[in-house]
Structure formats: C-alpha cells, structure tokens
A and B are shown apart, each in its own frame.
Chain A
Amino acid sequence: MSEGDERRAGEHIRTTPAESHREREIDHVLEALDPDRERPHDVVLSKDLSLSFGENRILSGVNIEFRRGTITALIGPTGCGKSTFLRTLNRMNDKVSGFRYEGDVTLEGASIFGPDQNLLHLRRRVGMVFQRPNPFPMSIRDNVVAGVKAHQIAKGKQLDVVAEERLRQVGLWGHVKDRLNDSPFRLSGGQQQLLCLARALAVGPEVLLLDEPTSALDPISTELVESLLRKLTPALTLIIVTHNLGQARRASDHTMFLYGGKLVEHGPTAELFERPKEPSTEHYVTGRMG
C-alpha cells in the first residue's frame, strides 16, 4: 500500500471496534518483528540547536526529531539556514571559521559533538550528497569505491563487487558497465549525481543528507533521483534540502519549514502543505512568499 492510499484510508473509512482491535494486533506483531525495535525511534535528534558564524546567528532553538526510515524535506527561503542546519548534522561546518553551536544533536542517542565521537566514523554513518555533482577526478569505478577504500571496508576483488552492487542500486550499471575505467565527467549531469549517490551509499550510511540534490538536474534525471530516494527507505533515513516545493511534496514523509532563523513548523508533509498552522508557512507553500 502506498503512502497516498494509507492516508485516504485513514481519512474516509470508519473502522469498527472489531477491526481496530485487529489492526492493533497486527501492529503489535509487526512491531515485535521489526529488527529496529530495540533502537530509538528517532535516529537524529536536534535539541535546542542554535548555530552561528561569528556574531551572525543563523538558526536558533531548533527542536526536531528525524524518524527512522523516513524522508524529511527541509524547505524555506534562501538564507533561512537550511543548508547550514543540514551541514551541521555531519559536522561539515566544524572547520568553517567562527562557527559555533549551542544545544545538541544526537545520532542514535549519542551526541555527535561528544568527545568519544570519531568524526570520520560519524561521516561514514551520516553521508552527504551535494547540489552540484562532484565526482572525483578518477575512474567511474574508483569513484564508487573511494570511500570504501578510505575506510578500508573492502579491498582487491571485493571492490569490484561493491562497485557493481552500488551502481546497480542507483540504476547506473547498465550505462557504465562497459566503461568503468572512463572519466566520470563524460557522464551526463544526472548520471554524475547518481554516481555521487552510489559513492555515498557505498560506505553504508545510516542517514543520508541531500543538499538540493536535483537543482542542477533536468526533470527526467530529477524524477530518477526522486524515485531512487523512495527505494532507499526504510533502510536509510533521508534528510533533503530542497527549493522545489513540488519535490518536497512528492518525495517526503515529513517537512520542516525554516524561516528567519527559526523552525517555524514541521509535520507530516501532506498536513503541512494542506493545513499549515502558521501564516508564514502558508505564504511560503502557496507561493505568495519566495
């Protein structure tokens, strides 16, 4: 059953007490079978997080949790701090001069800023895909396994297996299987972005951060990437920054709206788009404010 069907079912069909009892039982069984049942529901949790560069406060008091296996879209006008927030989640802002944070972010219950947190290991668990495709200047195969080699996850012949598996996963294998040793820059922009996605997936992340991953791509490639993202759940938790409201609506389960350095509203995507609680959210999602 797809997302949409589920929602409609909830809205229109009144269930009898017997049926709802049965549903509760099914839920109970499903929960007992869930391999992640012992782990916290919220993979990433931002607690009262404030971010600033020098005197410049970018975000203040963000409280939000990202549910395991869901896609969350971050929307908001340019300069509202979406990207800064996203890049904080795998600590890409650490080295930016003047960067300071207050509050905390936890990954599986442990602070990502904690002293026993290994930064390189954290970034393996929380991967990232950027706005512009950025394959490395090496062959297509070497691109896919670049992170795998860096973390010494596999070596020798195993690397070929990893490369094939990940290229298959993103649907590129058919296009590139005969030119694995070619330069990645001969691929189209969309294919390059899929390659970057394969590279990010190759190290086996739990969370994937996507910073406007399709804004440099044509509509067909965009659709490809979006349908791929859906397939990555529920194994992965995805957080995606997007300027494309249509994309947020199509591709995400939850949406958070940032505006003026604050988290204005967040909730299930359909609800946020159809029944926004805050006036500024409504202005933004209806296109009256860019």
Chain B
Amino acid sequence: MSAAFPSSRRRRIANGAFRAATLLALLAVVGPVVWVIAGVVDRAVPHWRWSVLTTNTVGVSGGLENAILGTLVLLLGVLVIAGAVGVLGGVYLAELAGFNRRGKQRGGFLRAATEVLAGVPSIALGLVGYLALVVQFHWGFSLLAALVVLSVMVIPYITRGTETALRQVPTNYREGAEALGMSSGYGLRKVVLRSAMPGIVTSLLIALAISGGETAPLLYTANWFTGAPRAALFHQPIGYLTYPVWTFWDYPSNQAHYLAFDAALILLVIVLLLLVAARIIVNRSQRYAEARRN
C-alpha cells in the first residue's frame, strides 16, 4: 500500500485515524456483548444450583423449571404461528404479488403495513392484546393471547427477511426451473426456497430471540404462573424467564436476586443454542450452494 502512494505525514495521520475509528466502532459493538455476558455469568454462576432447572418457583424463591418450560412453549408457538404467517407473507410479497399495469410492484400497502407494525412499541401491543384478547374476547391471561401478541410483534421481521432472501435468489434458478416445465409452485418449493433458506432461517432466529427476550407484552397477556405450563390455550397463565428478571430484582431478598440472574443466564444460553441450531441448519442447506457461507 505504501509503495503505491507517496507516503506523507498527512496521509499517515489520516490512515491511522481511520483505522482507530473502525476499531473503536468494532469495540462499541463487541464491548457491550462481552460486558453483558460477563456480568450475567459473574453474578449467576457463584450461586448456581442445578436444582433451579428442576424445581418450580415458590413465591420469589425455589427454581425456574416452570419459567423455562413456559419460555420454550412460547418459542415453539411463535415459531409455528409467526413462522407460518411470516414466511407465507414474505413469499406473497416476493413471488406472488406481481406487478400492476404500470409495471410497479404490487403489495406496497402490505409492505408498508408490516413496516409500521415493526415500529409499534411492544408495550403498546401488549396493552392492545390485553384489552382485546384478555378482556374483550374473555380469553383471560392465557397462552393463546401471549402467542398472538408475540407473533404479531415478530411477523414483520420474518416477512421482511423472507422477502429479501427470495429476492436475492438468482434469476438463473427461476428460469432454469421454468424452462424445465416446473410449475411456479413446484419450482418455488424445490429450487427457489432452497436457496433462500439461509435468509429465512436467520429471520426466524431473530424473531425467536426477540420473542424470547420480550417482557412487556407478556406481563399483559401471559401474566405469571408458578406451575408447569398446562395444555390449555385459554384462562391459564403461563410462566416465562423474563418475568423473574424483571420482577424479582425488586424484592429485598438474596434468593430473589439469585433467581433473577439465574433466569438471565438461562435465557442467554437458550439464545446461544438457537444461534448454534440456526447455524447448523444454514450450513446443511448451504451444502450445495453456489457461494458457501462460512
């Protein structure tokens, strides 16, 4: 580099400043991540009891089995509901909306609506969910109310992610599928979706991570429950890991504080496991991809 350009004092300073700025920006991103993880681990591990995983909460002490199972049930529900709706919405926007007579892409209204939805604060969604689902529909604090609110919250991310991933699929693949006489649905399923899979899986992962870490809408819709989740959609509150993190910190007891940090640690581990799982799925689906992502 220095051979190609005459080295001057000014250039050296400018280069140095630019390098320093990029490094600083990187630290600003990585620093908080390390800080958060270290902080949680540091406070949770010294008091860690494995029984936290296998006992239910009693008041503000005991274990977190109910909350762990509750969070997993919620994540599974969101994956099914939001995953289905979000991916189908994205497929519609990218593949089926088509063009209007002036050659402009259709579905603009739908796209704008999902963007607005993504911008609505989660607490507002929680309040609306409470008033509409819990009170108006008489669902009570329930799994279904929580799932609906969480799903509505993360569908925009999945829709957008799916649409973007589908748009990045090379025209080559679509033309190849068409020219072989595949119907557009068959080509979409067997060829196009296959190469959009990494983008779709990533958006699902983000959606799950967001809903796993949400508190506000769940306070309004799932409430809190110290027993294991029950197989009921209505009138049955459910526990989840963010509740102890949010509430137990306010109690004047060490037991409650330990549980709050245990819950935070378990949430972190769940999110990390999700990341790993997504990575594995992406790698598997990329086995035959043109440009391997490593």
Contacts and interface: CB of A to CB of B under 8 A. Distances in A.
B194 interface: yes
A97 interface: yes
Contact of A97 (B103, B175, B289): B103
Contact of B181 (A132, A138, A151, A196): A151
Contact of A150 (B186, B288, B290): B186
A176 B147 CA distance: 49
B79 to A, nearest CB: 24
Interface stretch (A5-13, A116-124, A263-271): A116-124
A247 interface: no
B176 A134 contact: yes
A92 interface: yes
B180 interface: yes
B287 A183 contact: yes
A98 interface: yes
B183 interface: yes
A150 B179 contact: no
B103 A98 contact: yes
Chain B interface: which size bin?
20 to 34
Contact of B180 (A138, A146, A183, A184): A146
Tell me which of A97, A124, A137 has the highest count of chain B C-beta atoms within 10 A of its own C-beta: A137
Contacts of A185: 288-290
A108 to B, nearest CB: 17
Given A150-B186, A183-B288, A183-B289, A136 B181 contact: no
Contact of A196 (B103, B176, B183, B190): B176
Interface string B167-183: 00010110111111111
A92 B103 contact: no
B122 interface: no
A225 interface: no
Contacts of B175: 92, 130, 134
Contacts of A203: 180-181
A184 B195 CA distance: 14
Contact of B195 (A97, A127, A137, A151): A137
Interface string A132-152: 101111110000001101110
B176 A150 contact: no
Interface in B30-73: none
Contacts of B287: 183
Contact of A136 (B173, B178, B183): B173
A120 B182 contact: yes
B251 interface: no
Tell me which of B178, B187, B190 has the highest count of chain A C-beta atoms within 10 A of its own C-beta: B178
B178 A123 contact: yes
Nearest to A135: B176
A50 interface: no
6 contacts: A90-B179, A124-B180, A136-B190, A137-B173, A139-B288, A150-B187
Query: Ordered nearest first, which 8 A-B pairs have the shortest CB separation?
Result: A123-B181, A134-B172, A147-B180, A128-B179, A124-B181, A183-B288, A120-B181, A150-B182
Given A97-B103, A98-B103, 13 more contacts: A92-B178, A92-B179, A130-B172, A130-B176, A134-B173, A135-B176, A147-B181, A150-B187, A183-B288, A183-B289, A196-B176, A199-B176, A203-B181
Interface of B: 99, 103, 170, 172-173, 175-183, 186-187, 190-191, 194-195, 287-290
